[in-house]
Amino acid sequence: MVQSENACPELQSGLACTEPASKSTAQPGLVVGVGGAGQSLVTHMAQQAVCGLTFAVVDTNAEALHQCPLPRRVQIGAQLTGGCSAGGDPGLGRAAAEQDAAVLQQLVGSASLVFVVAGLGGGTGTGAAPVVARLAREAGARVLGLVTLPFEWEGSRRLAQAQAGLEHLQAAADGLLCLPQQMLVRMMAPETPVPQAFLRSAELLSSALQGLARLARCTRRFGADFADLARVLQASGSSSVFATAETQGANRARELPDRLLANPLLAGGHALAEATDVLVSFAGGPDLTVSQVEYVMSQISRHAERAHLIMSVAIDEQFTDRLAVMLIGCCGDAGPAARHPMGSPQASHAAPTATTAAPGLDGYLLDPEQRERPPSRFVAPPPELSEAQKRELLLRQTAGTARRRLRSRWHQGQLPLEIISRGRFEKSEPTIYRGQDLDVPTYIRRGVPLN
């Protein structure tokens, strides 16, 4: 049951502190922060006042939820965690979300577009974020994920958990935009405080959220649509790069490429050189001209010569005399999990391959490694040799036979070593210490001559 914030002084399992929602008051876009990091990220995003989006947080930690300033808060898994965090256990975070799946369905059921925000590597965000994404898709919403990966100094276990959570979330969402926080290291000075580093990642994801929301929700749009966005994000996984930039004034088109390529995530444009797909989303007012779009695209294509460029233009009355661009690049293949993720509809309903559909001749030709090639019954004739080569070969064989006969006449002899008598200790077990028989007198063992 969902109650208002004033009606619930204490959070309980499956209790959401929010205003009642229904299909009649459907929210066009909902941003859900899952876990502690997701809660911090969404709180920062809400302060940017992105138009047309509402914000909510989901966590197992009751104390952290009470300190969150957002009105829409959902506690999950109170019976499993006792109101505490998941303790870095993604399995516990997933179980908490499954336990209160009905409340999460009520939270996301009224939204047509859901952004799932989380910091991967911990417990609640890594385990519960895929569940929230799956429930939102089952409710008919389009789902995009915005996640961060840990710094390398946070440990290999956290990195491994983050990668596993990334694959599960990629299978549950329509698309996924990932920010490896290790990339922020080269963007900052060595003396940068740790809170400032996390704030920088929140700023980058906030700008990405604004660009994605414009592309997904704008009605006056030309070119690429949400399907193109989802395809690029689904294919990229953790190998994606993104950047946003905004300018205004008469020279906004001339200034925008330089400001965009100055983003450290693009590494001066080198990251685009490795991209296979690049999505460029423009946002401008009714005064946006073709020459402005052409100039910006020409500068981007110079750095992404091998990439498939996908362009989208959104017209917004509020962007008069302004121009904003969001760029998303897919750097290479994200692997089989990105193309057919486990548990996704594409994987469960994939079309049979030619090998499975035709196990006869076609299957043999398409997959020759499954059958061993039988050995040939044809024996090649001996090579033609000259008389000199025949004599040399005969001499080698004769010499080899002689050496084998000589080796067979060798015998192993016995060395004439002096046998030392042990006297009264002859019938007792020797006292061996560090490889030496202590029953033998020291002067004999050490070879000391006596006068």
pLDDT band, residue 139 (cuts 50/70/90)? very high
Higher-pLDDT residue of 374, 224: 224
Specify the pTM.
0.66
CATH topology of 22-217 equal to that of 240-346? Answer: no
240-346 carries CATH number 3.30.1330.20: yes
pLDDT band, residue 434 (cuts 50/70/90)? confident
- How large is the average pLDDT for residues 342-366? 37
pLDDT of residue 403: 59
Nearest to 130 by CA among 139, 141, 143, 148: 143
pLDDT of residue 416: 59
pLDDT exceeds 60 at position 379: no
Which range among 126-130, 142-146, 286-290, 442-446 shows the weakest confidence by mean pLDDT? 442-446
Higher-pLDDT residue of 412, 202: 202
User: Which residues are CB-neighbours of 375 under 8 A, at least 6 positions away?
Assistant: none
pLDDT band, residue 116 (cuts 50/70/90)? very high
Reported as a single tens digit per residue, the pLDDT across 305-353 is: 888 888 888 888 888 888 999 888 877 554 433 333 333 334 433 333 3
* SS3 of the chain: helix, strand, coil, percent, to 5: 45, 20, 35
- How large is the average pLDDT for residues 240-252? 87
CATH superfamily of this structure's domain 22-217: Tubulin/FtsZ, GTPase domain (3.40.50.1440)
Q: Where are the alpha helices (DSSP H) in 237-372?
A: 252-261, 270-273, 290-303, 336-339, 345-348, 354-357, 361-366
Spell out the domain ranges in the chain: 22-217, 240-346
- Rounded Cα–Cα distance for residues 39 and 65 (Å): 8
